[in-house]
A and B are shown apart, each in its own frame.
Chain A
């Protein structure tokens, strides 16, 4: 469904991605784990067209999207839930959700999807008229995910959904991610919480200083001694 081949991305003179190659197949949850500064967020931003790669190729559903604008990429069916949630603090919850559907013109479909988001996150219905900034961290993460779902994405990119959240809230969010996947949305999940991520993912990639150093089925990565000591804090 998505393939990144030898992606090089720079921030000014900083060589952030040094040839990242990965694939995501239809229906999968694929996780990208790694330490701070390994290039996880940059990888997602490259897919979304926010930071355009200097070299390499990104193909989505058979189409080269490497040089496309973010607007086009969202229209093709890739939506990102960015790190730190980035909800709009002074828009209401409902307005936040509607911004997620910005490129859609099918009013009835948008209405139905809004209803789906409220079913998935009943808290959002209660808080519909509140400003996004008044929500708790966990609720903001739910809003950010809900907002992305409003675009009816084929591929959902999630950047550190567990960041700064209490363990019980993280568990709840991860259950919802699995549910979204079961209902047909393919997911590329970036996480520092490797333990949680590898437990729900089908496959995983380990990113170190801008390049993939390990890949495989999530189960195997959980058993891998290197992953266990470096990312899971075990052994």
Chain B
């Protein structure tokens, strides 16, 4: 029982982590909590299913296409809504982010309706619903295994981009000192756009995985997932990418264990209780840097 819950929690946690890195990267470069990120996640799921249903594209290419479209969507959100507010007080951008979130939710309702929509079962490989392997009493489905492998590959890819490429180094430089980054000739807006593209495509992937996992999606699904992933990012230390990954996994596991051992009605509350406990003991989060010296 415990081991099974752990594996289920890991599934959920890795998905939270995938959304959380989008929050934390954007916060890192422009100090904005991008509340519209949950809606990009939701659009990812709907776009993927729409591409499958209306164009007859198979699952994996549809997934890649939806991720690409969402990357474009993230860049457009930044360009239209946030870029004009770059020098405005952060509160103005924050309120704008909430506005963009509501706007996108309503657009989704107009396009796809306000009722939950199932994921196209016929597009999902049969192996995903079968047991992939069993470890003692633990049973892991094909989809769960895919989620483990896919999210891990994405996280490794993201870590390599951030740490080993020029644009990744520029992202970190920008997060540490925007004026100095500009003085190096770094095109700050282009690096910010790149950050949005990366985070949004990962968020879209998470939306698709969740919709497949629970076999449902709705225009409002981004709200809850968005708040959870934001909590995960804070838990890990906002601005820290490894922190967001760890925070997501911790939150997912805590929530699933809580649901299994205490009561499934309190699952959200238990997840947040863990977050609050961590923040009380370590205000900067698990892997966050203590603020104060922004040299």
A residues adjacent to B (C-beta < 8 A): 48, 50, 69-71, 74-75, 79-80, 82, 86-91, 95, 98-100, 102-103, 133, 147, 151
Residues of A within 8 Å of B289, CB to CB, are 90
User: Would you list the 6 A-B pairs with minimal beta carbon distance, nearest first?
Assistant: A74-B185, A86-B180, A103-B185, A88-B176, A89-B295, A88-B173
Q: How many A-B residue pairs lie within 8 Å, measured between CB atoms?
A: 71
Residues of B within 8 Å of A70, CB to CB, are 182-183, 185
What's the Cα separation between A100 and B170 when bound, in Å? 10
Given contacts A87-B180, A99-B181, A133-B295, contact A71 B186 (CB under 8 A): yes
Residues of B within 8 Å of A48, CB to CB, are 183
Residues of B within 8 Å of A80, CB to CB, are 183
Kindly identify which residue among A86, A89, A103 contacts B179, using a CB–CB cutoff of 8 Å: A86
What's the Cα separation between A151 and B176 when bound, in Å? 20
A74 touches B176 (CB 8 A): no
What's the Cα separation between A90 and B181 when bound, in Å? 13
Kindly identify which residue among A69, A89, A102, A133 contacts B184, using a CB–CB cutoff of 8 Å: A102
Residues of B within 8 Å of A102, CB to CB, are 166, 170, 184-186
What's the Cα separation between A70 and B178 when bound, in Å? 12
List 15 interface pairs A-B (beta carbons < 8 Å), by A numbering. A50-B182, A71-B187, A80-B183, A86-B177, A86-B180, A88-B177, A88-B181, A91-B169, A98-B169, A99-B169, A99-B170, A99-B173, A99-B181, A100-B184, A133-B295
B37 within 8 A of A: no
B172 within 8 A of A: yes
Residues of A within 8 Å of B173, CB to CB, are 88, 91, 95, 99
Could you tell me the distance in whole angstroms from the C-beta of A147 to the nearest C-beta in chain B?
A: 7
Q: Which residue of B lies closest to A144 (CB)?
A: B180
